[in-house]
Chain A
Amino acid sequence: MVFTIPKEGTTQWLEKLLEAGEVIAPVRGPCGDVIFSALRSPTQVLWDFENPLHPPKQFVLPQTDPLVKIKLNGQRHEVEPIHDDAPRTLFNVRSCDVKGIAFLTRMHEADPPDASYLRRARNLTIISLACTTPCPAGFCVCTDSGPFLSAGYDLQLTDLGGSFFAEVGSEKGEAAMAKAPELFRKAREDEVTDRTALEAVAKTRFGPETCHFGSAMRRISTGRVQDALWEKMGDWCLECGGCNMVCPTCYCFSVKDLRQNGAWVRCRMWDSCQYNAFALEASGHNPRAHRKERMKRRFFHKASAQYYTRDSMVGCVGCGRCIKTCLGSTHMPAVVAAIRKGKWHE
């Protein structure tokens, strides 16, 4: 089902969406950065922007995520799960981020399903804005996560010039349109043609960061990456963990109890497999004591065929964020290129 909404109508539509709950969209932040933020007004929404560096996974998996409240009633402990049922809409997210959230949902649905995550995910409506002009750092074509998607969104918008093309992907998408039905009309055939053409053109416009993901996947999965290569690359990593923090598909975490207002709150918090202590056991034994082992772990998780087979999804969405945030120079495209060539910096 495909529709269009004139650009002048979006403000009204957003107002209706805001009435129903939080609407999170890319806005210009306090110091000029584009950030995802809960809207105070529809006019804040950016329509022409570079994808925020901080990914929208924070709205389904906050960096500090309270899970269970533990109270002491005399000598008796009482525990209760912390529920976040707030309805939210993610607006103007890009295809890569749609795929990212779909990946996270798949992980948290897998046996046993995690109610804390799923409550948020199921109350989240994802309205995406397809990329008619790919971003400079992105390589979503290589990871089957853009520039346009055929599924995974609740509603996918495409900029046709004077209006937005809207593709319904789910009931939630329908419901989002139904907030302001008078603003939408069925798309005409020429509009459908335009939309198709825009996707075809977008696919041809990728920049130098396009990377040969498939080839890296094969080598990583068949153990054909030399230990010496990981060692060399390891020297160019500064273990900041930034890649994990900004990656839309990373979700590693640690759990700890936080003292708050006389009670305890068990929280999940973001962690990074690049940190030395990530796999460190209480005995002091560390199965990944060397940086090369941790790097190998990260790229195995992102790119191996075994994970791909197990989860039916690619662990990387080609958003390019790791390129921007890497404190060293070991981001995805660089590593993939090195794996393909069998050499680093030569």
Chain B
Amino acid sequence: MNDVFLPEIACIEKVRDETPDTKTFTLRFRDHQNGNHFHFLPGQFLELSVFGCGEAPFCIASSPTRPGVLETTVRHTGQLTDQLRKLGNGDEVGIRGPFGNGFDVQAARGKDMLFVAGGIGLPPLRSLIWNVLDERDRFGKVTILYGARTPHDLVYKDELEVWGKRSDVELLVTVDVAEHDWTGNVGVVPILFQKVTLHPESTLAYVCGPPIMIRFVVRDLLKRGFKEESVISTLERMMQCGIGKCNHCAIGHRYVCRDGPVFDYRQIAELVE
């Protein structure tokens, strides 16, 4: 019998501004400093408590290959994130989790990995990207396609540079609207497809971002011969308990917090609202 609503206390170790409305929080468990008890898969999420306000689900943006700290990237959208962004180093929050099914990292071994992200869609994929890069020789080609509205809206700007410099990663970044000194690609994410060579038979595609971007990207991938089971995404829903009980995230008889948030496109097609 678990006290499934009992959070564990964590301290904010670092806060990094990604964009004007997005921050990455680095968290360390207060009473279990090495975090070894918290085993998670990339793609899983945690329920973060801002005490006195409430709880909200956020994807874990750090990789399980680097235990000890947890990172989550949060965009300012509502009441809770309003309070959260006022917190700083040393402040305490609560963590419940990890929840959700996560990405099937085992099944991806040996495959070419294609990551396609838009705006705030990159954080859910970052966990898997770092996991793959930390175990680089277990995976085939790694291609990252990322876009945001403007250069200011790109998250993980420093890491984009690091990934870009790696010889074992192909990174392409684009923005919808260029600003001043932007010398990179301009256009929506799907335009980047013309600049890469994809092998649908041996590739798993991970797609995350605004619904409209996902729609176009997935359509493109399927046209190029990707099977529906090879196109993987994460679904977002209003969530409260994170454990499949409160019913807020239910789609049909599935719960996004338990059967997801990671789904492949065949599963998504079967979901009945």
Contacts and interface: CB of A to CB of B under 8 A. Distances in A.
Given A67-B5, A118-B1, A254 B52 contact: no
Given A77-B9, A255-B246, A119 B53 contact: no
A229 to B, nearest CB: 16
A129 B116 CA distance: 61
B240 interface: yes
B252 interface: yes
A38 interface: no
Interface in B26-40: none
A252 B247 contact: yes
A278 B53 CA distance: 18
Interface string A71-104: 0100111011100000000000000000000000
B205 to A, nearest CB: 24
A243 B208 CA distance: 37
B252 A255 contact: no
A190 to B, nearest CB: 45
Contacts of A279: 237-238, 248-249
Given A252-B247, A253-B240, A115 B51 contact: no
Given A287-B273, A288-B273, A310-B253, A116 B78 contact: no
Nearest to B80: A282
B54 to A, nearest CB: 5
A57 to B, nearest CB: 14
B72 to A, nearest CB: 15
Interface stretch (A2-10, A233-241, A301-309): A301-309
B92 A75 contact: yes
A117 B272 CA distance: 29
A273 interface: yes
A291 B28 CA distance: 43
A300 B250 CA distance: 11
Contacts of B55: 255, 266
Contact of A79 (B9, B238, B249, B251): B9
Interface in B231-273: 236-238, 240-241, 243-253, 272-273
A300 B55 CA distance: 28
A301 B250 contact: yes
B107 interface: no
Nearest to A83: B3
A225 B249 CA distance: 23
A110 B52 CA distance: 29
Contacts of A288: 273
B99 to A, nearest CB: 9
A62 to B, nearest CB: 15
B7 A254 contact: no
Interface of B: 1-7, 9, 49, 51-56, 77-78, 81, 90, 92, 94, 236-238, 240-241, 243-253, 272-273
Interface of A: 67-68, 70, 72, 75-77, 79-81, 107-108, 110, 112-116, 118-119, 223, 251-257, 259, 264, 266, 268, 271, 273, 278-283, 287-288, 293, 296-297, 300-301, 304, 306-307, 310
